[in-house]
Every structure is written in C-alpha cells, then in structure tokens.
Structure 1
Amino acid sequence: MTERDQDSTRERLRGRRRFLAGLGAAGIGGLAGCTGLLGEDGSAGNGNGSGNETSASEAGFGEFRGSGPLAEDREELQGTRIADLPDLSGELTIYLGGGEGGLYRDLLARFQEIYPDFTVNPRESGTADAANTIISEGDATPADVFWSVDAGSLSAVANEGLTASLPSEVVDPVPEEFHPDDAWVGTAGRARAVPYNTNELSADDVPDTVMDFPETEGMASAMGWAPTYGAFQAFVTAMRLIEGEDATRQWLQDMVDAGVTEYNNEFLVSNAVADGELNAGFANHYYALRVQASRPDAPLDLAFTSGDAGALINVAGAAVLGASENTDLANNFLRHLLSAEAQEFFATRTYAYPMVEGIPPVGGLPSIDELNPPSIDLSELSDLQPTLELMREVGVL
C-alpha cells in the first residue's frame, strides 16, 4: 500500500471511529440481540425464492433477526435465501467449539424447526478442546462438521489432514481470505478494535498502530487487556508473524512496564473502559456493542488501527470432516450457515461481521472493505504455542 493510500485509509477510519457515539442512547439502547432466542411463531421463514434481492420486511428474516434498534430498517438485503437451497434432511453430528453464549444452539434449533427431517447431535466444548478431540479421534471421529468460533482451531484440524475440501458452491460467496485452501469457510467475522472512553480520549488520541501504544500519552498507562483470552492470544500471534518475535516480546514488555491492567475477558475490559477505570483497551469489536446494549449512555466508542495486528479480522467458521459419511448433507448445512437469513442472524444477534455480500454489519460499523486488516493467512493463527511461550517468558501469562 502506498503512503497516499495509507493516509486515505486513516482519514476514512477516523470518520468512522465515533459510530457508537453517533448512535446515541435512542439508537442502541434496549438491544436484545445478544440474548434473544429465535422466532416465536415457528414459521419456516422461506422468502420469495429470488436468491438475489428481497425486502427485509418479507417473511423469513424476522425469525432470524435480533430485536432492538440495530435490527430495524434493514431493507433490501441480498444473498442466497434458505428457500433457494436444498432441504436439510438427515442427521449430523456437529462438534461446536464455543457458541456465543448459546446463540449458535438457537440457530441449530431453528434449522430443525424448519426441516422436521433434519436432526443435529451437537457436542459442545471450548474451541481448543474441540479441535484437540477431533485430532485425537482422527479418522475415527464421529463428527461430520466442526463449527468453531476461532480460525486457529479450524486450521489446527485442517493441518492434520482431517477436513474435506469444500466445493465451490459453499465457498464462492465468501472472500478468499476467509476460506484458506477451501479446508474450512468463515461464517462470521470479528475485528480487533480499541474501545476507548470518550470522556478521556478522542479518536485522534488513539494511534494508528498498536506498536505505538506504549509510548502514547494517555494510552498505555491506562490500558487494559485480557491475556488469557483466546482472541487476545490470536492477536499476539498475528503480531509475532507480522513484526517478528523480538519486536513482539519488546511490545509486551513495554506494555507491562507501562502498567497495563489485566482482566479475565474482553467484555470486562470494555466495561472497565465504559466505567472510566481505563482510558482504552484491547477487545473484539462486538464487546463495545454489548456494553452499550445495556448501558446506552456509557462514554464508550471504538477506534480501529490500520494494517497491523491490531486490525486483525478473525472469523468463526465451519469445516466438513473428511471421515464423514454425510458429506453432501454437511456441505448443504454449511451453505445454510451462509444463507442470507443465517448471516442476518449473526449480524443482529451476535453483532458479528457477515461473510457474504448484501448483509451489512450493524451499528454503523465500517464494512470489512473499509477496514485495513493485515495481510495474513488465518491458518497461521493455529501456530499458537510459540505465542504462549513468548507471553510466559515476559510474564504476561
């Protein structure tokens, strides 16, 4: 990227940074999308079958969409509709790594309501545990699908040669970087971001690169992070791959020396920023939305860095296991996860970035195309052990 392009990107992002504050109390308060269940009327949710463009007010999206102001006025959504896909019929064993507080289970339940002949046997655990179980089971695994909230765990399984190559009808709607080698496909995205307290900082106070944070006045001495959290470790892994081990070690040490505060997870980091305990922190983008859902007047906003590990876009995704005897059904299931209705579910209930064109993110978030993530193969995020050793060496873990 040229210096002129970088300057243009920075200016565009500065214009997008205050998206939460711009919504105001009326624009984001009362969100139920984080915890709401699926549709109450049990209807199948099929639309007009055009597959290209449909009004959000038509039957179908209402049974998948979250409630609250962020889910309103989402018209002219595009994408493949569930009605355009073959019916789901048969039985799948799905290893579910993570699950966004049960919301993924809700989506599975909705599919089973739509298709009475479709049965899911979910096995739930943490992302690393699920991946390690599949790797341990090898070709004897009973799993047909591995659906995980973390690209690193998907890549770990793929690197063992345990995933089937996905057909073009599954992966084509998704940007290439989110289906590396067609071994798995992204279903929902999350961007690294910097939640900051608007009473203490402005968007211009937040550096464009995380490497500058330790030396930036008002940042490192009042920053928070969650080093035991998987998303943070993926971020450090990306930094190690981009900047090198020595620079990453020095950055971690500089942040520790500057007095960064540790929290158990990034939702707590975002709450601490809103409380004024911190000026800023490191977190996935959707945690700020979740804080604002219950605290619409909180002095909280998001900034995005540019082109570095702090701008990493990670994904939840799904893979079909090579040992599965239900490959056709499993591939069809993945197509359902990428349907317009399911993508609207992820956007308005988990606040994730949709993976297909035609379904916009919520809350005035910049689109993935407007962000400037680093050029990194997400499959490399599975190389976590050197990151953990580095963090232990510095004393972060």
Structure 2
Amino acid sequence: MRSRPLLTAVAGLTVLATTLTGCGAFGGGSADLQIYSARHYDLEGAFGEFTDETGISVEFISGDDAELLERLKAEGDDTPADVFMTVDAGNLWNGARQGELAATDSAVLRDAVPEDLRESDGRWYGLALRARTVTYNPDAVDPSEFDAVETYAGLADPKWKGRLCMRDATSAYTQSLVASLIELHGRERALEIVQGWVANDVAIMSNDVLLLEAIDAGTCDVGINNHYYLARLLEENPDLDVDLFWASQEGAGTHVNISGAGVVEGADNPEDALRLIEWLATDGQNAFVDANHEYPVNPSVEPEPLIAGFGDFKRMPLNAEAYGTFNAEAVDLLAEAGYR
C-alpha cells in the first residue's frame, strides 16, 4: 500500500462534501463496498442486481470526476472508497497516473474488455461505450453533404456557416473530442478545425439535450452529440426530426469515450471491488448499459434494440493517455480559437 498523506485543508474537504450530489445504498446496513461515482444515472438497477446475485452490499457517492479524485487524494489511506467510477477515459488515466488506482490482474476482464478500453496494468477498465458523432435534421441536410473521411474536420467547411450547434468548451465531451483531434492531426491542424467551427458561427449549447432539441426545431441543421442522448429522446418521441450520421467511417472512425472504473489503491475490500467490476463487464453488462442506451464494451454482449437500430459503425481506437495528456492543450486550443 502506498502512502497517501492526509491533507490538512479541512475547509477544502468541506467544500468538496457540499458539492457531491448524494448517495445510494443497496443491501442495507453497513455496505461491503463503497463506490465514488461520477456516473450519475442508472446505477440503481445494476448495483441492486449485483447485490441480489452476490450478497455484497454497495453504497455509492456521486460527484464529478475532479471532485471525487480530489476527495480520494485528500482522504489518503483513510478513504472509505473501494471503487472509483468515471465517465471519461482521460479522467481514468489521470486517476491511475496520480496513484489513486490499484493494479489488478483479472483474466475475466482481459477477455471481456477490448485492449484499448482498459489499462495495461489493470488500473482501470471501460464498462460502457459512448459514441460522439454527428446528428442532423433530415429536412435540412442530405447525409451526402458530410465528409465521410474527416467528418468532424469537414464541419469547418464554410458550407456549414450558420448551421452548426455544438457543446460548450467546458464540457469533458468537447475537450476529449478536441484532444483526439490533436492526437490524430497534430495541434496546428486541430486548431484550424476548431477555428473553422468558430468561423461558421457555431451556436454553443450547454447540454446535449438542448442541442438535439435545437436540431429538431430547425434552429440549427447539424450538431455533435453522444449517441445515447438521441436514443433517450427518440424513446420519448419517435417522431423526433433528428438522424444520426456515423462520423469518419472512411477515415479514422467515430470518436468514442467510456464510462469505466478501477479499484482504489488501498481499498478495504479490493477482492469484492474487482468482483463488482468483473460483473459489470460480463453478467451485469446489460444491466449497466441498457437503461442509458450505451454500447456494451464486451463484444459478446448485444446492444439494446433502439441503439442497435442505429447500425454498426467503425470506432476510432480510444487512447486514454491522449485524452488525459492533451486535455490541458485542448482547453488552451479552444480558448485560442475563440470557442466558448
């Protein structure tokens, strides 16, 4: 067990505690496992099933990735957390780099999780896959207008001027997409792409749902969304006037990210923590991903019917290190380009 000295900034811990969004418990009494989770949706069903099947009780505390990672660092060896769960590969990489996640050896997870969706020393594993791709209003756009090789870069073409909606620069989704463009094209070309979006008078939205509603209403013609937000809205309204285009299928593939988890370094119950992660990647895959319309990372598990209807797609290989190491550069690049 490594040494993680407690921080003396009690006031900082108080601030962190007030920003967390609540907790849930399954199994009653004192929980066997404590989960710090930045994944705020659809945990109850999966964790409840795990408790029913194994008898291992689970409690989780929710917050955003940065808050929870700072909490782990502040608590040091006294942390009650057994599992750290995030919604961005860069944050998982960062947690491992800072020594907050333990190396594990699991043949189950090596078989269940593709190599680029897990850390080589088993410090974290992807559990749910989300694709960030192009969405559009079919009344205003013919999909033949999209560049099938470099779809994201193609939105910098002046023909899209006044037609684009995208997420804000503070979104982890935006930052990881831009980080992937830096890795793929280099900083200079990535800057040109983002400057092209800005030159096209991109309308900035604070969340993906508003973005999709704007496309449906005809406020803009094209956006970039996580696929599951579209699935959620289609579940509520099958007549939604928004279609999905799989980006860059003749090029690098569609940008993807993950929800994933790792065993906390110095966890009180590392064996059951790893057992939970193994279950979520195998028997519990559908329970974990289906309600939120995410893709299973496990290739032997079928996606739920609504997103299966989106069709197969080639995904861009995920490079968590790039998402993490290029994050600060992506933030600077967005600012330099004037992207809000």
State whether TM-score is above 0.5: yes
Determine the structure 2 residue equivalent to 1:177: 116
Residues 329-350 of structure 1 show CA distances to partners (whole Å, capped at 9, x for unaligned) of 111111111133x222244311
Contact (CA 8 Å) 1:170, 1:331: kept in 2 or not? Answer: no
Asked if 1:147 is matched to 2:85, the reply is yes
C-alpha distance in structure 1 between counterparts of 2:258 and 2:207, whole Å? 18
Counterpart amino acid of residue 88 in structure 2: D
CA contact (8 A) 2:50 2:276 kept: no
Residue 138 and residue 312 in structure 1: after superposition, are their counterparts in 2 closer, same or farther (change >3 A)? farther
Name the CA shift for 1:378/1:318 in 2 (closer, same or farther; >3 Å).
same
What is residue 339 of structure 1 aligned with on the other side? 282
Contact between 2:89 and 2:320, CA under 8 Å: does it hold in 1? Answer: yes
Q: What's the Cα RMSD here? A: 2.4
The one-letter amino acid paired with 2:83 is V
In structure 2, the residue matched to 1:253 is 195
Query: Would the alpha carbon gap of residues 108 and 279 (structure 1) be closer, same or farther in structure 2, given more than 3 Å must change?
Result: same
The separation in 2 between residues aligned to 1:318 and 1:268, in whole angstroms, is: 29
Match of 1:277 in 2: 219
- TM-score, length basis structure 1: 0.71
Distance in 2, matches of 1:366 and 1:165, equals 36
Rounded to whole Å, the distance in 1 between the matches of 2:68 and 2:321 is 17
Are the counterparts in 1 of residues 127 and 280 from structure 2 also a CA contact under 8 Å? yes
Q: 1:203 aligns with which of 109, 124, 143?
A: 143
* Equivalent runs, 1:347-362 vs 2, <5 Å: 347-362=289-304
1:396 counterpart residue number: 339
Q: SS state of the match for residue 43, structure 2?
A: helix
Q: Do the aligned partners of residues 216 and 309 (structure 1) sit closer, same or farther apart at CA in structure 2, a change above 3 Å counting?
A: farther
**Residue 105 in structure 1 maps to residue 47 in structure 2:** no
CA spacing shift, 1:111–1:375, aligned 2, 3 Å: closer
| Unmatched 5+ stretches in structure 1 | 1-88
Residues 306, 139 of structure 1: alpha-carbon distance in 2 compared, 3 angstrom cutoff = farther
CA–CA separation in structure 1 for the residues paired with 2:290 and 2:317: 28
Give the distance between the partners of 1:394 and 1:132, measured in 2 at CA: 30
Letter in 2 for 1:374: M
Q: Deviations over 1:140-175 (max 9, x none)?
A: 432110111221111111011222222222332111
Which residue pairs with 2:24 in the alignment?
A: none
Distance (Å, rounded) in 2 between the aligned partners of 1:126 and 1:335: 23
One-letter code aligned to 1:352: E
- Partner Cα distance (2:252, 2:71) in 1: 29
Aligned counterpart, 2:5: none
Q: What amino acid is aligned across from residue 92 of structure 2 in structure 1?
A: L
Distance (whole Å) between structure 1 residues aligned to residue 86 and residue 191 of structure 2: 29
Distance 2:286 2:207 in 1: 26
Given that residues 65 and 91 in structure 2 are in contact (C-alpha distance below 8 angstroms), is that contact kept between their aligned partners in structure 1?
Answer: yes
Paired-residue identity, %: 25
Q: 2:238 aligns with which of 262, 273, 296?
A: 296
- Of residues 288, 312, 321 in structure 2, which corresponds to 1:379? 321
2: distance between equivalents of 1:336 and 1:185? 12
- The 1:248/1:310 distance shift into structure 2, 3 A limit, reads farther
- Separation of aligned partners in 2, 1:157 and 1:237: 18
Distance 1:138 1:320 in 2: 14
Report what 1:157 is aligned to.
Answer: 95
Superposed CA deviations along residues 226-251 of structure 1, whole A, max 9, x for unmatched, are 12321121111111121111212221
Is the Cα–Cα contact under 8 Å of residues 187 and 317 in structure 1 kept in the other structure? yes
Residues 344 and 332 (structure 1 numbering): CA distance in 2 closer, same or farther, change over 3 Å? same
Hey, what's the Cα distance between the residues in 2 that align with 1:260 and 1:106? 38
2:60 alignment partner, one of 107, 119, 122: 122
Query: In the aligned structure 1, how far is the partner of 2:142 from the partner of 2:289?
Result: 27
Report the CA distance between 1:365 and its aligned residue: 4.5
Larger deviation, residues 293-302 vs 137-146: 137-146
Alignment match, 2:27: none
Alpha-carbon spacing, 1:290–1:170, altered in 2? closer, same or farther (3 Å): same
Residue type at the aligned position of 1:320: V
Q: CA deviation at 1:360?
A: 1.7
Which amino acid is 1:173 matched to?
A: A
- State TM-score, norm by structure 2: 0.82
Cα gap change, 1:390 to 1:194, in 2 (>3 Å):
same
Q: Deviations over 1:23-56 (max 9, x none)?
A: xxxxxxxxxxxxxxxxxxxxxxxxxxxxxxxxxx
**Cα separation, 1, equivalents of 2:183 and 2:77:** 31
Asked whether the equivalents of residues 190 and 352 of structure 1 are also in contact (C-alpha less than 8 Å), the reply is: yes
SS at 2:266's partner residue?
coil
Question: Which residue in the other structure is 2:72 paired with?
Answer: 134
The structure-2 alpha-carbon separation of the partners of 1:147 and 1:255, relative to structure 1 and needing over 3 Å to count, comes to same
1:217-256 equivalences under 5 Å are 217=159, 219-227=160-168, 228-256=170-198
Match of 1:194 in 2: 134
Residue identity matched to 2:223: G
Spell out, residue by residue over 1:177-226, the C-alpha distance to the aligned partner (whole angstroms, 9 max, x if none): 11121221111100111111011112222222211212152x34211001
**Separation in structure 1 between the aligned mates of residue 119 and residue 166 of structure 2, nearest angstrom:** 29
